[in-house]
Amino acid sequence: MGIFDTIKYRFKQKDILVQLIIINAVVFFVFVVTAMTGKLFKLPPIDLIPYIGATSDVHLLIKRPWTVFTYMFAHKDFLHLLLNMLMLFWFGQLFLRYFSPKNLGSIYLLGGLAGAALYALTFNTIPYYVDMNHPPMIGASASVMAIIFAAAFYKPDAEVSLFMLFRIKVVYIAVFMFIIDFISLDSNTNPGGHVSHIGGAITGYIFAGQYLKGKDITRRINKIIDSIVNLIKPSGKKKMKVKYKKREADYDFNQRKHNDTEEIDRILDKIKSSGYSSLNAEEKKRLFDASKK
């Protein structure tokens, strides 16, 4: 199976990470094709960003409310796209160890919305930003920050391999990224971006904290998404019932994944301290089953 067939297959299998990455890539491709077509045929420049990017201009935002959604899927610079998609893929996989794909999609949206909201608020209230002639903002960074913070603060002890050299706790990476954005708030190059990153980070932190208390802040947006899907593909009350049951099962599914992860971590700690021979038959079986997933 070729790479395009693989991507197509995973997209059809509703792999949320692949779907988000493909959507971002397609929007970037539209930017590239538009710019190239203009140059080749010597057409007047076509700037799509004002119609896609989030704006702090309240009057313009009222005219183009969709931009608070579209901006989080748009990148004009390839390196910007590449970095965001790599971060989304790496930390998205970690996120999915504890939560469902539906949670991931909802946090992506909520983080992006929070980033746009904080951006608009600060650029209309904080004197340093009010007089700035800042262009519309694009990029998935706020959404990605929400995913990173949700995973990091839900499981603060989780570690990842950094540059294949040493392991580090994800929460340290998250805090470091937050500090960089905070000390860059007075930047003249991308102040709106740093503000939106903080909005996304706060969203992820709140999601993790509430989920640990048994509350899922994405449940409402999940209902909205389900309603939109049902409008596109109406199938009556029976469809709504199926969707409702699935939402109810999400929390149980996440709890089971969390409990399994906790148990595997306990077994690994036992091996580290006392060796593999210290495991009983049941623990060896659980470790073997986990290695096959």
* 20-36: pLDDT as tens digits: 999 999 999 999 999 99
Shortest CA distance to 146 belongs to which of 197, 181, 190, 184? Answer: 197
Is the pLDDT score of 247 beyond 70?
no
Q: How far apart are CA 137 and CA 120, in angstroms?
A: 10
Spell out the domain ranges in the chain. Answer: 49-230, 249-291
Q: With H, G, I as helix, E, B as strand and everything else as coil, classify residue 1.
A: coil
CATH class of 49-230: mainly alpha
Q: Give per-residue pLDDT as tens, 92-111.
A: 999 999 999 999 999 999 99
pLDDT of residue 111: 98
Q: Give per-residue pLDDT as tens, 183-196.
A: 999 988 888 999 99
Encoded tokens for 261: 């992860």
Share of the chain above pLDDT 70, in %: 84
- Helix intervals (H) in the chain: 3-12, 16-40, 49-52, 58-63, 67-70, 78-95, 101-125, 127-130, 141-154, 170-183, 191-212, 219-232, 236-274, 281-291
What is the pLDDT averaged over residues 47-56?
94
* 156 Cβ contact partners less than 8 Å away, ≥ 6 residues apart: 169, 170, 171
* 28 Cβ contact partners less than 8 Å away, ≥ 6 residues apart: 74, 75, 76, 78, 81
Residue 293: C-alpha distances to residues 136, 173, 260, 276 (Å): 43, 27, 12, 20
Please, are residues 140 and 75 in contact by the beta-carbon 8 Å criterion? yes
Q: Which range has the worst mean pLDDT, 38-42, 103-107, 221-225, 269-273?
A: 269-273
* 204 Cβ contact partners less than 8 Å away, ≥ 6 residues apart: 107, 111, 145, 146, 147, 148, 149, 150, 151, 152, 153
* 89 Cβ contact partners less than 8 Å away, ≥ 6 residues apart: 17, 21
pLDDT of residue 243: 44
Encoded tokens for 36: 């190239």
Q: Which range has the worst mean pLDDT, 113-122, 135-144, 177-186, 268-277?
A: 268-277
Q: Which range has the worst mean pLDDT, 77-91, 153-167, 186-200?
A: 153-167
Question: What does the DSSP assignment read for 88-116?
Answer: HHHHHHHHTTTS-HHHHHHHHHHHHHHHH
Q: pTM of this prediction? A: 0.78
What is the pLDDT averaged over residues 52-56?
95
The burial class, CB within 10 Å (0-12 / 13-18 / 19+), for 59 is exposed
Q: How far apart are CA 181 and CA 200, in angstroms?
A: 11
